[in-house]
Structure 1
């Protein structure tokens, strides 16, 4: 056996990965479900935050490898850019579809931000390689 301790990703980061991948899947489902009822401008406006979610989901796949603090910071910034404008537009939703779309982004995005600020998460990205 090896004397080198095995490094296991903390549970909050596993939860972030699950949340981001679930959010990315929800974005695909939401875009497919609402695409018929929106104009081209509406589809583009709705797709912008989902693109940021999909980039964040791609970044979360690197958490268990050689990801450093920059990946964590980038994910935090992207998720803040998804959640904050969504909160301001939540009240403007005219129908249940866009309201549900915004609610999903908020309900799954806020825990991602909170979990990435936990000390265990910060320590994982600052660990020695």
Structure 2
């Protein structure tokens, strides 16, 4: 029997991956569902926060490989830049579509930031390779 142990990604990071990939999928569905009723300017304005979610989802695919602390901090910054302006949009929403979209971004984005600051997550990105 081999005594070599493979490092196992902590559960909070798996949860972050699931949340980010779900957020990316919700963004695509939301863009497709609402694109017919929006002007080109409104579509671009709607795409900006989702673009941050899509980049974060792409970054989360590197968590089990060679990702370091910079990837973690980049994800935290991108998610913070997505969630904080969304809070003001939630209050300004005039119909259910934008309100639900903003609520989903907050409900899926805020836990990502919290989970990435847990000690297990920090230790995973700081481990020896």
C-alpha deviations, 1:66-104, integer Å up to 9, x for none? 100000000000000000000011111111101111011
- Alignment: residue pair count: 129
Question: Aligned partners of 2:4, 2:75: CA distance in 1, in Å?
Answer: 30
Q: TM-score, normalised by structure 1?
A: 0.98
User: Mind listing any 5+ residue stretches in structure 1 that lack a counterpart?
Assistant: none
RMSD, aligned CA: 0.7
Question: What residue number does 1:84 align with?
Answer: 84
How far has the Cα of 1:57 moved from its partner?
0.1
How far has the Cα of 1:118 moved from its partner?
0.3
The answer on 1:112 being equivalent to 2:112 is yes
Runs of 4+ in structure 1 off by over 6 angstroms are none
How far has the Cα of 1:4 moved from its partner?
2.2
The answer on 1:6 being equivalent to 2:6 is yes
Q: TM-score, normalised by structure 2?
A: 0.98
User: Mind listing any 5+ residue stretches in structure 2 that lack a counterpart?
Assistant: none
Question: Aligned partners of 1:4, 1:68: CA distance in 2, in Å?
Answer: 22
